[in-house]
Amino acid sequence: MSYFIPVGPDTYQPTEHVGGAWSDDELHISPVGALLVHHLERWRAEHSDPDKLIARISIDILGQLRRGEIELSTRMLRPGRTIELTETTAVIAGRETLRARTWAMSTQETAEVAGTELPLLPGPGGLPERSMSEDWTGGFIHSISLRDAEPRRPGRARSWLRAEHPLVEGEEAGELAAFLIPVDAANGIAVREHPREWMFPNLDLTIHLTRHPTGRWLGLDTSVTFGPTGQGLTSSVLHDEQGPIGSVQQTLTVRPLPPGA
């Protein structure tokens, strides 16, 4: 079974595999974010230059992701010959819930100066598996595979994740959208405090890319920081099996779990 089923033009019904980690009556942002990228890529193929490569995706979460149909739309904010800015909006259960702004840019030949000082992440082959259900519940958490490159500790993990289901039933997702299905799980692989005692949901999800990813294994070199006044940050270096390809940042709102929750 896939994560989403098309039910109309630019409209999708989430399946059980999109269930949220904090509550049974909400959706997990990670596959929904990948669905936005899927819609964006299809829209760009018709309305803009599909040869431009996506360099940044910044998703703001405007409210709780209630279970319900998801209606997507994309518009051009800033057209250009070498760069362009688009905005993709998700209306979920009748409410505007997500807004993603994406920068895309024309390609240049820069192989002779390409390089990074970011450390490599050992590949996923042969690494020990770990179940995220040790810390989390929800349909989405149970749908992904997780392998650790080293033992995790509070606030720190170096891990590989892979979604085990197609993104959309009957539609072939682009390589980027399929790769990004588990990306928001970065906030759940290196918890500093147990989610049955503390809440630390993210308000946003910002992905920066230095090249287009390949394959389905997504690597995360993740650190989680809690500040003293309720702010937090999950910061990850993003990898595919060829090496580092960018970063993922998530702004957290940190607070104790309400009594009886």
- Tens-digit pLDDT profile for residues 148-199: 999 999 999 999 999 999 999 999 999 999 999 999 999 999 999 999 999 9
Residue 112 lies in a domain: no
Residue 148 lies in a domain: yes
Prediction pTM value: 0.95
Could you give the number of structural domains in the chain? 1
CATH of the domain at 11: 2.40.160.210
Q: What is the mean pLDDT of residues 65-92?
A: 96
Q: What is the DSSP string of 73-112?
A: EEEEEE--SSEEEEEEEEEETTEEEEEEEEEEE-----GG
Longest dimension (CA), the chain: 58
Residue 143 lies in a domain: yes
Give the pLDDT score at 204.
Answer: 98
Residue 113 lies in a domain: no
Give the pLDDT score at 260.
Answer: 64
Residue 114 lies in a domain: no
User: Tell me: the pLDDT tens digits for 100-149?
Assistant: 999 999 999 999 999 999 999 999 999 999 999 888 989 999 999 999 99
Going by pLDDT thresholds of 50, 70 and 90, the confidence category of residue 15 is very high
CB 213 within 8 A of CB 179: yes
Query: Tokens at residue 70, please?
Result: 């998801």
Residue 117 lies in a domain: no
Residue 116 lies in a domain: no
CA angle 237, 240, 244 (to 5 degrees): 40
Structural domain span for residue 84: 4-106+124-256
Residue 17 lies in a domain: yes
User: Tell me: the pLDDT tens digits for 201-237?
Assistant: 999 999 999 999 999 999 999 999 999 999 999 999 9
Closest CA to 31 of 235, 194, 153, 183: 183
Give the pLDDT score at 63.
Answer: 93
